[in-house]
């Protein structure tokens, strides 16, 4: 009972949204001023277009794959431009565009005094197009195009203030870590290209069971892009970029590209136990370690970045539990409140003359009421307070984990991470907003109307989208329906415990004495990961490389082995022989004696 008359509208509106986004990029050069469209307006129209497709999808449950052009066509290998508009794409695109709409409103206010503000918006639009290419592609090649696109735009946007040394270092770090993951992606592309002879997702899913090698390579790619534990430093360094960049790229869209890849390619992974266990443990470790680090940070953007990494670890764990739909739901719902948190932190810090240290903020809830209430709502949604948006996905994940047979370590790490999430969100709420103001006096604090509308829209999303999506979207995988009371309340209990413990400590440490014990230093220095891994392996590697290339290759093979060797030996020999030509009498006497004796001996 598929009504084929709906294919055209869904296709058209999706592709129209991509074209709408292209328009501001080209209009500046092609048309006169009157026909220019602002980036923000384009994103708004694109959002409504994709919202229409989402509503059509919810009504009909129809997914569409289209193939347009053949880029490479050989005898058995065709790579073309093909789109896949299924549940994941159609749900993700409106979410991303909604979030981007609010971020563009915020960016207009935040970057108002920047000289290259038009270029900034164009970069954000190009990023958005790359992301949409990534989520709507039906073959791995097009996905890789989007993957690389978001990586490059992340590089350009993190290093936006390019005269700042830390920004340049951070963007290089982001590119290097993403490149490590691209190794895995290219390995998968090569493996599937040679063994399956196709990069289309439909054809890949028909071939089961898969080898472990391409799947682990995919997990590597996702781990690097989504900042799992071994490859998380770039996400923290990426906070050097302007706050709209952090809000768009590093909270909602780019970092979830890795998770999205795993969700899309989940049919390949569901039989392979090694891959699932890897995902599970990797996710559990990264959520625990990043949440632990977020407890003692003092920079507001770093705390929110670490909370993003923690939630990404939670999504990875869910994929390891064979629940990609839950991971995807958490991804979409997380986008709302995380971007709102970043926007609110940007408003607060911009109003306080770019102060990002939470020990120097306070009393915001009287001076910036709308921002602080939206900040509180975002934090509560992140902690998973019942019936906010975060609750619907997070609680479902923890319930699923509690009622499935999995690694006990992963379970305990995730529960501990939930406690710590609640703790640091409470700390954020209290230290940033309450108490006497600890910032510099005489600040000009304003709350723009469009800005307030943007974060109020996102707050509406943070509260309402959870129930709406839980009620309207059919879950294609069965979730546990009956659990005991204790397990049902375990997530809630963990959250409450985190909040209460954090409140106790906040009340106790009102004097804000600096703490110095080993665990707090370990957590504050981000488990010393960067200090350990960034200097010594690279130094050794570069030294070895220098030894091989300069000493072995250049010096030895090109200098010592042939030219210098010959010259040295020839020099010795010629020195020995030139002795004879110096005219000393003893030489002649010796020659005379030698030849005479030889003759005598020979003749007798």
Partner 1 sequence: MPTILFNLGLAFMTSMMGLSLQRSHLISALLCLEGMMLTLFLMLTTWATEQQSSLLFSALMMLLTLSACGAGTGLSLLVTTTRTHGSSNMNNLNLLQC
How far out from the chain centre does Cα 66 lie? 28
Given the complex with partner 1, which of 412 and 590 has the nearer CB atom? 590
Given the complex with partner 1, which of 539 and 598 has the nearer CB atom? 598
Given the complex with partner 1, which of 1 and 585 has the nearer CB atom? 585
Please give the Cα distance from 186 to 200 (Å, whole number): 15
List phi, psi (to 5°) of 114.
-85, 145
What's the distance, Cα to Cα, between the start and end of the chain in Å? 122
Given the complex with partner 1, which of 186 and 596 has the nearer CB atom? 596
Min dist. Cβ of residue 571 to partner 1 (A):
22
Please give the Cα distance from 117 to 113 (Å, whole number): 8
Q: Which residue has the tokens 């296709």?
A: 11
Min dist. Cβ of residue 577 to partner 1 (A):
16
Given the complex with partner 1, which of 516 and 575 has the nearer CB atom? 575
Q: Sort strands 78-85 and 64-73 into parallel, antiparallel or unpaired.
A: antiparallel
Are 47 and 458 a contacting pair, CB within 8 Å?
Answer: no
Min dist. Cβ of residue 593 to partner 1 (A):
4
Min dist. Cβ of residue 592 to partner 1 (A):
7
Given the complex with partner 1, which of 566 and 592 has the nearer CB atom? 592
Min dist. Cβ of residue 572 to partner 1 (A):
23
Given the complex with partner 1, which of 206 and 597 has the nearer CB atom? 597
Min dist. Cβ of residue 579 to partner 1 (A):
13
Are 173 and 237 a contacting pair, CB within 8 Å?
Answer: yes
Min dist. Cβ of residue 604 to partner 1 (A):
9
Given the complex with partner 1, which of 460 and 597 has the nearer CB atom? 597
CA distances from 256 to 283, 311, 523 (A): 13, 10, 25
Residues that bind partner 1 (CB under 8 A): 582-586, 588-590, 592-593, 596-597
CA distances from 479 to 41, 67, 107, 397 (A): 40, 34, 40, 9
Please give the Cα distance from 587 to 96 (Å, whole number): 95
Given the complex with partner 1, which of 557 and 588 has the nearer CB atom? 588
Min dist. Cβ of residue 560 to partner 1 (A):
37
Given the complex with partner 1, which of 542 and 591 has the nearer CB atom? 591
Of the candidates 373, 369, 352, 378, which has an alpha carbon nearest to the alpha carbon of residue 447? 369
List phi, psi (to 5°) of 355.
-95, 120
Min dist. Cβ of residue 600 to partner 1 (A):
8
Of the candidates 353, 511, 497, 517, which has an alpha carbon nearest to the alpha carbon of residue 439? 353
Can you list the positions of beta strands (E) in 87-160?
none
List phi, psi (to 5°) of 360.
-110, 20
Structure tokens given for 204: 């890949």
DSSP bridge partners of 69: 81
Min dist. Cβ of residue 574 to partner 1 (A):
18
- DSSP tag of 476: S
CA distances from 169 to 181, 225, 237, 326 (A): 19, 18, 8, 36
Of the candidates 251, 437, 485, 228, which has an alpha carbon nearest to the alpha carbon of residue 346? 251
């Amino acid at each position: 009972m598929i009504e084929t008359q709906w294919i055209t509208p869904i296709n058209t509106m999706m592709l129209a949204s991509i074209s709408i986004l292209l328009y501001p990029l080209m209009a500046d050069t092609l048309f006169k001023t009157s026909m220019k469209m602002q980036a923000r307006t384009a994103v708004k129209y694109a959002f409504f277009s994709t919202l229409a497709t989402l509503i059509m999808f919810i009504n009909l449950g129809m997914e569409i794959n289209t193939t347009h052009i053949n880029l490479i066509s050989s005898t058995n290998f065709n790579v073309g431009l093909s789109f896949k508009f299924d549940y994941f794409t159609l749900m993700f695109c409106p979410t991303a565009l909604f979030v981007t709409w609010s971020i563009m409103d915020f960016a207009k206010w935040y970057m108002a005094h920047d000289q290259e503000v038009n270029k900034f918006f164009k970069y954000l639009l190009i990023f958005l197009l790359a992301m949409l290419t990534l989520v709507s592609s039906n073959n791995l090649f097009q996905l890789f195009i989007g993957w690389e696109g978001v990586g490059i735009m992340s590089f350009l946007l993190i290093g936006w203030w390019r005269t700042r040394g830390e920004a340049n270092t951070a963007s290089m770090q982001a590119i290097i870590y993403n490149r490590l993951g691209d190794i895995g992606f290219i390995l998968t592309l090569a493996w599937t290209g040679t063994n399956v002879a196709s990069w289309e997702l439909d054809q890949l899913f028909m071939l089961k069971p898969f080898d472990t090698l391409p799947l682990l390579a995919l997990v590597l790619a996702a781990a690097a892009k989504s900042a799992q534990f071994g490859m998380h430093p770039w996400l923290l360094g990426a906070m050097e970029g302007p706050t709209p960049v952090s809000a768009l790229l590093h909270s909602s869209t780019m970092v979830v590209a890795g998770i999205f890849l795993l969700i899309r390619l989940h049919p390949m992974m569901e039989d392979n136990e090694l891959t699932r266990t890897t995902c599970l443990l990797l996710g559990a470790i990264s959520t625990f370690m990043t949440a632990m680090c977020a407890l003692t940070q003092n920079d507001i953007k770093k705390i929110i970045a670490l909370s993003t990494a923690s939630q990404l670890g939670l999504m990875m764990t869910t994929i390891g539990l064979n629940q990609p739909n839950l991971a995807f739901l958490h991804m979409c719902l997380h986008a709302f409140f995380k971007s709102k948190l970043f926007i609110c932190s940007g408003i607060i810090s911009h109003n306080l003359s770019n102060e990002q240290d939470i020990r120097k903020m306070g009393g915001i809830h009287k001076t910036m009421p709308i921002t602080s209430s939206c900040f509180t709502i975002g934090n509560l949604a992140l902690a998973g307070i019942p019936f906010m948006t975060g609750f619907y996905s997070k609680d479902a994940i923890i319930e699923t984990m509690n009622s499935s047979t999995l690694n006990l370590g992963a379970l305990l790490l995730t529960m501990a991470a939930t406690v710590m999430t609640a703790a640091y969100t409470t700390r954020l709420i209290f230290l940033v907003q309450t108490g006497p103001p600890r910032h510099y006096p005489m600040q000009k604090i304003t709350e723009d109307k469009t800005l307030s509308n943007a974060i109020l829209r996102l707050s509406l999303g943070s509260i309402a989208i959870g129930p709406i999506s839980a009620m309207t979207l059919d879950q294609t995988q069965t979730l546990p329906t009956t659990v005991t009371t204790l397990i049902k309340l375990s997530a809630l209990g963990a959250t409450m415990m985190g909040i209460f413990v954090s409140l106790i400590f906040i009340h106790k440490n009102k004097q804000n004495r600096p703490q110095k014990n080993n665990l707090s230093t370990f957590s504050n220095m981000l488990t010393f990961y960067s200090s350990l891994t960034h200097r010594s392996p690279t130094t050794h590697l570069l030294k070895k490389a220098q030894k091989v290339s300069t000493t072995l290759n250049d010096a030895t093979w090109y200098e010592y082995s042939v030219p210098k060797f010959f010259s040295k030996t020839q020099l010795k020999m010629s020195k020995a022989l030139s002795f004879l030509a110096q005219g000393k009498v003893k030489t002649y006497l010796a020659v005379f004696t030698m030849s005479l004796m030889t003759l005598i001996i020979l003749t007798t």
